[in-house]
Amino acid sequence: MKIIKTKNYSELSIKTAEIVIGQIHSNPNSTLVLPTGNTPLGMFSQLSIAFKKNIVSFNNCFLIELDDYWQIPMNDNRNLYNWLDKSFIQNVNFKLENITRFNTSAINSDNECHRVEKNIKKMGGIDLVVFGVGPNGHLGFNEPGSKLNSKTRIIDLSPESITSSANYWGSEENVPQQGITLGLSSLLAAKKIILLVNGKHKAQIYKQAIHGPITPLIPASYLQQHKHLTVIVDQDAYGE
Ligand code: PGA
């Protein structure tokens, strides 16, 4: 595991974008999984700037959605894909046919999960995953208790995830009870993984996930076992 400590969030975002760009330069057909949430916003803006300056092109990359809310209409603005679209995809040049998006209103959830797993296999697996981490240690919607061999699936959101999504949905009562998420087995099989951790509110989960015991109670702790993990953490989160 490589740990890169940055002074602040802006440096974390620049560093992360540099690594993503390096990945695409070395393999323009890279299959990427990118997170939603507040953590990646700085990276997205750095990548969008680099795209505008012709430093990087996403034209031949593949993108697979990490997670989303389940049984939410595809055109609902609060659908995580639509959020990612507005925050990043629209600013760059992915080909739409190269993007695997969850059908969040699919009638048969098993078929939908198999379809996405099959797509990942067809692409030869994932080249790079960038994760944020929830304060409860979830990765995507692999909530505490998720097993290392878990597949892409529908999952009940943890009370912590419901609380932390309350602002996004207006109130806790409005937050969907379930999500759909790529499983840990596909995610941890990625060739490279970056974990981003920033802010004082993540200091505790940073310590537990990276320096604590590996446990299903903190899915992010499984990352310690990955051969090509880079953790990028800012001073507020590493706490010195
Ligand atoms: P955040 O969310 O980036 O908004 O902190 C991370 C997560 O819950 O996975």
Residue 63 bridge partners (DSSP): 32, 99
Query: What DSSP element (H or E) covers 208?
Result: none
Task: Please confirm, yes or no, whether 138 is among the known catalytic residues.
Answer: yes
Catalytic choice (127, 143, 234, 236): 143
Question: Is residue 72 within 6 Å of ligand 1 at its C-beta?
Answer: no
- pLDDT tens series, the chain, 240 aa: 999 999 999 999 999 999 999 999 999 999 999 999 999 999 999 999 999 999 999 999 999 999 999 999 999 999 999 999 999 999 999 999 999 999 999 999 999 999 999 999 999 999 999 999 999 999 999 999 999 999 999 999 999 999 999 999 999 999 999 999 999 999 999 999 999 999 999 999 999 999 999 999 999 999 999 999 999 999 999 996
DSSP, res 180? E
Task: Please confirm, yes or no, whether 211 is among the known catalytic residues.
Answer: no
Question: Is residue 198 within 6 Å of ligand 1 at its C-beta?
Answer: no
Question: Pocket of ligand 1, candidates 34, 36, 65, 195: which has the most ligand atoms within 8 Å of its Cβ, to mutate?
Answer: 36
Residue 125 falls in which region: left (phi positive, over 0), alpha (psi -120 to 50) or beta: left
Question: Is residue 134 within 6 Å of ligand 1 at its C-beta?
Answer: yes
Question: Is residue 140 within 6 Å of ligand 1 at its C-beta?
Answer: no
Residue 137 falls in which region: left (phi positive, over 0), alpha (psi -120 to 50) or beta: left
Q: How is 153-179 classified by DSSP, letter by letter?
A: EEEEPPHHHHHHTHHHHSSGGGS-SEE
Question: Is residue 36 within 6 Å of ligand 1 at its C-beta?
Answer: no
Model-level pTM? Answer: 0.97
Task: Please confirm, yes or no, whether 143 is among the known catalytic residues.
Answer: yes
Give the distance (Å) from ligand 1 centre to CA of residue 217.
17
Question: Is residue 42 within 6 Å of ligand 1 at its C-beta?
Answer: no
Q: From edge to edge, which strands make up the β-sheet containing 99-100?
A: 2-6, 229-234, 192-197, 128-131, 31-34, 62-65, 99-100
Give the distance (Å) from ligand 1 centre to CA of residue 129.
15
Task: Please confirm, yes or no, whether 136 is among the known catalytic residues.
Answer: yes
Catalytic choice (79, 82, 136, 198): 136
